[in-house]
Amino acid sequence: MALAYGATGTTNLTLIGAQVRALGLGHSTMLLLGAGLLLIGFGFKVAAVPFHMWAPDVYDGSPTPVTAYMAVAVKAAAFTSLFRVLTEGFAGVAGWHAIVWWLAAVTMAVGNLTALAQRTVKRMLAYSSVAHAGYLLVAVSAGTSLGSSAFIFYLVAYALMTLAAFAILAAKGRDGERDVLIDDLAGLGARRPALAFALTVCMLSLLGVPGTAGFIGKWYILMAAVNAGQGLLAALLVIASVASAGYYLPVVMAMYMKTESSPQAHVDVRLGRLAGAVVAAAVAGLLALGVQPSGMLTLAQTSGSSVRAAVVLPSAPPASLTTNDD
């Protein structure tokens, strides 16, 4: 931030964008160093590869309600900040689109491949959040109004499905302290059908199955990437989403296609009234946005178009430089 201030003379995002254009600072060494360091910092905050190694360990070691907060609120705030800084302040700075392109590609690949090897649901969701950071970076990399709209829509969908999934996991994990293996969910569909249905909707939405908000969000991101000429990145997103079926679907299969290990396996799995209302609202939102997304898409388009680079307007000369014939 200090280097960005040194190059532009301001910390205001709108004024930084205006200064970059007015003074031709797109290739300024000081500003490029500042932008690069900011990208590293934001990459750490959003758990983008190769700055992601803290996230799975912290998510896995924290109580599940705290993990839910970090995976939803903290990540949403970090991504929103990254999006505004790049789109509004550094839109005219050279090179960041290519860097974000590679960050998105590597993050999607590493996040999905590593999640395939996990056996605890909590750690699997931790690496899943890394993969979804890659999906959101695809929308950021597009750098268009359509990419902005896709970013906002998918961020809302991601928050809903992740919050509900971790809330159910907290109920199963006995106050969030016990590791829950995928096999520990066996028979949940028969014993707790409402919770199993809610977790199924979350898993299918994270996967991107039609009829859920996750599918609409990924489709919207694909459109933004293709329209921005990033067909290869769009193809990588599709391949990564297909690979994610290898760790989302086993959770659904365990709940409905396996028998519980003992009659007491799910006796204590209950959500409180408030937590149950939050999960129900999140699941309803995921299904509603998957079937009728037009309202949210319109809102995302309006919000996305409001975040844009500053337009440099010609200014009048200072009063001290004007002449008076009298």
- pLDDT tens, the chain, 326 aa long: 899 888 888 888 888 888 888 878 778 888 889 888 999 999 999 889 888 888 888 888 888 888 888 888 888 899 888 888 888 888 777 778 888 899 999 999 999 999 998 888 888 888 988 999 999 999 888 877 888 888 889 999 999 999 888 888 887 766 445 577 788 788 778 788 888 899 999 999 999 899 999 999 999 999 989 988 888 999 999 999 999 999 999 989 988 887 776 666 666 677 778 888 888 999 999 999 988 888 888 888 887 776 665 444 444 433 433 444 44
Token duo for residue 85: 């800084």
How far are the Cα atoms of 90, 127, 128 from residue 47, in angstroms, in the given order?
21, 9, 11
Beta-carbon count within 10 A of 288 CB: 13
pLDDT value, residue 25: 77
Give 3-state DSSP helix, strand, coil % of the chain, rounded to 5: 75, 0, 25
Phi and psi torsions of 324, nearest 5°: -125, 115
Phi, psi angles (nearest 5°) of residue 120 = -90, 140
pLDDT for 174: 60
Q: What is the pLDDT of residue 177?
A: 54
At 181, give phi and psi (nearest 5°): -80, 160
Supply the angle between the helices 213-227 and 193-207 in degrees, to the nearest 10: 10
User: Positive or negative, the Cα torsion across 64, 275, 134, 310?
Assistant: negative
Report CA-CA distances (Å) from 148 to 139, 201, 206, 209, 254.
Answer: 7, 26, 20, 22, 37
Q: What pLDDT shows up at residue 178? A: 59
How far apart, in whole angstroms, are the C-alpha atoms of residue 28 and residue 30? 6
* DSSP annotation of 186: T
Predicted model pTM: 0.85
